[in-house]
Structure 1
Amino acid sequence: MAELANHAVLHRASDNDAADAHALPPLTDIPVGPWRALAERAVEANGYYQPDWELAVDASARGRTGAAALSAVNEAGQLIGLLPVFPMQRIYKLPLPALVGAEPYGTLCTPLLDRDAAEDAAAQLLRQARNAGAHALILRTMSLQGPAMAAIEAALARDGLRPRVLSAYARAALDATRDADELLRDALGAKKLKELRRLRNRLADHGAVRFDVARTPREVASALEIFLNLEAGGWKSKRGTALSQHAGDAAFIRRATVAMAEAGGCEIITLHAGETPVAGGIVVRHQDRAFFFKIGIDQRFAKYSPGTQLTLDLTRHLCADSAIASADSTAAPGHPMIDPIWRERFAIGDVLIPLRRRDPLVPVIHAAVRMHSLGYEAARGAAHFIRSGRRKSG
């Protein structure tokens, strides 16, 4: 276990390091076996920080490669905490001494903390970041009300510090312990369900409707290609965000899904009308939680609401699985399709964690992140305004 203990030791970097003259070990230095064992013991599930997923992201995903590792070990040398990070300069293009949790494509940056030593693990991660020269740690899309955040708050309190919530929102989640039919009736009502059944019957005019779940590595590899084709044929392709449009992203998802399927950590769901796939999705599993990563539909069948139909079948599938207690939609807040169906809410936000007391640089880092966020939202709003065709000429 000496190999793991060495990961907590910082190494000297070049004088060109934008944050400090220290560097953390690369994420790829973390042995997969201990990492996988930590994921199974994690106090809070995060399917996207499992090694088969995050290492695939780190290897080739566009803009997400080459992460460093904040790691924590106990006295026996056992890995008890892990958080992939990037320097703030890489994410925000600002040379300020802060580290940012690596966004693993799945919009959840909750660190892996051992359930039996969560507070100590969090304290070690923060101390390692501080020793690396960081004045703050920024966790984007962090679970705000779970046990991981509670452990971080307790570790900060030891040093008289408190986290700063930069933004917060609630996204759709599923209580998979409920009866699916009762849940859907409560969520959508009899009238909406009747309309969806009518659309499903119309979809059946194109062939018998069936819901398939690919689980084995071979099944997943085959079903993934169907999903990629569905996604590339829709609006994501027009926005340039379809996975198959970028070689690195395509390589990441092919590697991650098949590797995770080896241990039952990934499923590809597909809705068919006859022999034609009309909707598909990728589902990641970790502990007793599922994560609805992405969805793709055949736009030719859009009038039958194939994405909604797929989600109804997924809801029944997850509620019937005794191993799954909840599901995170990983969707944007207010998502028009899934929010009305999955009525539970999961608190998510961006958090700035100060690492030193009365540090004058923390307000500077806070303001920089805030200004960056405002600029991003303005640019995003302008792009939406232009795409919607509402901008007036002249």
Structure 2
Amino acid sequence: MGKHFHLETRGFPLAGDGCVHGALRGTQAVFSACDWRDMSSVDRISEWDALAQIVAEPNPFFESWFMLPALDALDPQGSVTILKLEVDGRLFGLMPVKRENRYYGYPVPHLRNWVHDNCFLGTPLVARGFERMFWQHLFSWADRRPRMAAFLHLTQMPTTGPVHDALQTYLTPKDNARPAATVMLETRAMLSSTDTSEQYFDQALSTKKRKELRRQQRRLAEMGTLEVEKLDNADAIADWSQNFLALERRGWKGKSGSALACDIATQSLFCGALEGAAQRGRLQRFAMTLDGQPIAMLANFLTAPGAFSFKTAFDEDFARFSPGVLLQRENLAMLDRDDIIWTDSCAAQDHPMIDHFWRERRTIARHSIGIGGPVRRAIFAALARHETRGRGKPLNMTVSA
């Protein structure tokens, strides 16, 4: 806990906007690791939230209001470590990591960014202009403290953006002989268009499908008072969260045991994250109600210029009326916001509903990267060649010792 080493940045080429918040060449960068519980004080949370305002790429799942409830619920023993980059005493980079003994079922110890089943992005929070500096310091730290880890595994990583580009540049052979490989690529639905919500709806679905959705909405309205509520505030957020949990649990997820409310840990995570997001103006929520009872609900995280469609649920007793799809029709209003350019669906690849509605795609990767000395890196390079044999897609990285 709290171990530090110092790296002077005199003469270090800062990428992009190297003058963010006055951090110029010649300043001192400190890269450190701490127990995540050390980040839960009011002062640390304030620093964390300040970083989230200047990041190169948004990631709500690594912001304080989401990660702290997640860690409190899923890691009460404190096995997760927070890696931090500080420049002149200001927090400019953050990523949670955990040492694991198994790699997708195989007994291969490694270090990885900490994600879980309800975390849909693994990009570190890094201040604009400090992306390459963050990666350089992170790998220096990992090289000095590999312990039993054979490599660093980064999962849920986008394949575009300044944080990705800085990682790719840092790992190019001309600059770095560190072996690395992309071991998995997936795509998921994304909403990113200059069309209005009405234009997008007309182009995304066939005339027949649009007509059917309108018919289903009319039939629902004939059954009682049908309303759609959209909230961007924290009003009655606890009640809203409980209604969502109950709605989700009544469906197939409840029957399979995968609903959030089936586990006290995920229930606590969900309620804590939504409350924190709402208090910071980071939550947008929709509810379609029939005679005051929710039949479809949806929660988005707002992290301008992007947004993330975190969770959705619908009442399966009304499945023939497609309330979940009807609510996604309302969610297209995201296209009409000036502050949101794109929305990540957070959905699985080939999702049967959203893939037919949202036309754009986002590619998400898993990368494995060598750490430690030459022998350890050579062993990892052999492992990476074996894992990616016949299908590997190096991330413009080399899989060699």
Q: How high is the TM-score relative to the length of structure 1? A: 0.83
1:57 aligns to 2:70 (yes or no):
yes
Give the distance between the partners of 1:197 and 1:288, measured in 2 at CA.
31
- The answer to whether the 8 A contact 1:96-1:365 is kept is no
The one-letter amino acid paired with 1:53 is F
The one-letter amino acid paired with 1:266 is L
State the Cα RMSD in Å: 2.6
The one-letter amino acid paired with 1:330 is C
Deviations 1:356-385 (A, max 9, x none): 5572231465479789xxxxxxxxxxxxxx
> What is the CA distance between 1:7 and its match in structure 2?
6.0
Deviations 1:71-127 (A, max 9, x none): 2222x1222211111112166566645211111522211111111211101211222
Give the distance between the partners of 1:9 and 1:162, measured in 2 at CA.
24
The equivalent residue for 2:119 is 106
Give the distance between the partners of 2:141 and 2:332, measured in 1 at CA.
41
Give the distance between the partners of 1:287 and 1:90, measured in 2 at CA.
36
The equivalent residue for 1:139 is 154
- The answer to whether the 8 A contact 1:81-1:112 is kept is yes
- The answer to whether the 8 A contact 1:92-1:369 is kept is no
The one-letter amino acid paired with 2:361 is R
Instruction: Choose the corresponding residue for 1:118, options 109, 127, 131.
Output: 131
The equivalent residue for 1:258 is 275
- The answer to whether the 8 A contact 1:70-1:129 is kept is no
Distance verdict in 2 for CA 1:65–1:48, change over 3 Å: farther
**Residues 62-101 of structure 1: pairs in structure 2 closer than 5 A:** 66-74=79-87, 76-89=88-101, 92=104, 96-101=108-113
**Residues 168-183 of structure 1: pairs in structure 2 closer than 5 A:** 168-175=185-192, 177-183=194-200
Distance verdict in 2 for CA 1:188–1:238, change over 3 Å: same
> What is the CA distance between 1:28 and its match in structure 2?
2.6
1:33 aligns to 2:46 (yes or no):
yes
Q: SS where residue 218 of structure 1 aligns?
A: coil
The equivalent residue for 1:247 is 264
> What is the CA distance between 1:278 and its match in structure 2?
0.6
Give the distance between the partners of 1:223 and 1:369, measured in 2 at CA.
45
> What is the CA distance between 1:29 and its match in structure 2?
2.2
Q: SS where residue 360 of structure 1 aligns?
A: helix
Distance verdict in 2 for CA 1:64–1:36, change over 3 Å: farther
- The answer to whether the 8 A contact 2:180-2:381 is kept is no
Instruction: Choose the corresponding residue for 1:333, options 319, 332, 349.
Output: 349
Distance verdict in 2 for CA 1:7–1:118, change over 3 Å: farther
Structure 2 unaligned blocks of 5 or more: 7-31, 390-401
Deviations 1:185-223 (A, max 9, x none): 111122211111011111112223222123332332221
Say which structure is richer in helix.
1
Q: Percent identity, please.
A: 27
The equivalent residue for 1:347 is 363
> What is the CA distance between 1:236 and its match in structure 2?
0.8
Q: SS where residue 25 of structure 1 aligns?
A: strand
Q: SS where residue 137 of structure 1 aligns?
A: strand
Structure 1 unaligned blocks of 5 or more: 11-22, 372-394
The equivalent residue for 1:382 is none
Give the distance between the partners of 2:254 and 2:156, measured in 1 at CA.
24
Give the distance between the partners of 1:277 and 1:213, measured in 2 at CA.
13
Give the distance between the partners of 2:186 and 2:76, measured in 1 at CA.
25
Give the distance between the partners of 1:188 and 1:64, measured in 2 at CA.
48
Give the distance between the partners of 1:54 and 1:174, measured in 2 at CA.
25
- The answer to whether the 8 A contact 2:298-2:313 is kept is yes
Q: SS where residue 205 of structure 2 aligns?
A: helix
Instruction: Choose the corresponding residue for 1:151, options 142, 162, 166.
Output: 166
Distance verdict in 2 for CA 1:65–1:208, change over 3 Å: farther
The equivalent residue for 1:228 is 245
Deviations 1:286-335 (A, max 9, x none): 1221111111111110001111111111112x122222111000000111
Deviations 1:268-290 (A, max 9, x none): 22111222211112211212211
The equivalent residue for 1:295 is 312
The equivalent residue for 1:17 is none
Give the distance between the partners of 2:80 and 2:267, measured in 1 at CA.
19
Give the distance between the partners of 1:64 and 1:53, measured in 2 at CA.
18
Deviations 1:152-208 (A, max 9, x none): 122223323353111101110001543011111111122211111011111112223
Give the distance between the partners of 2:382 and 2:101, measured in 1 at CA.
14
The one-letter amino acid paired with 1:165 is T
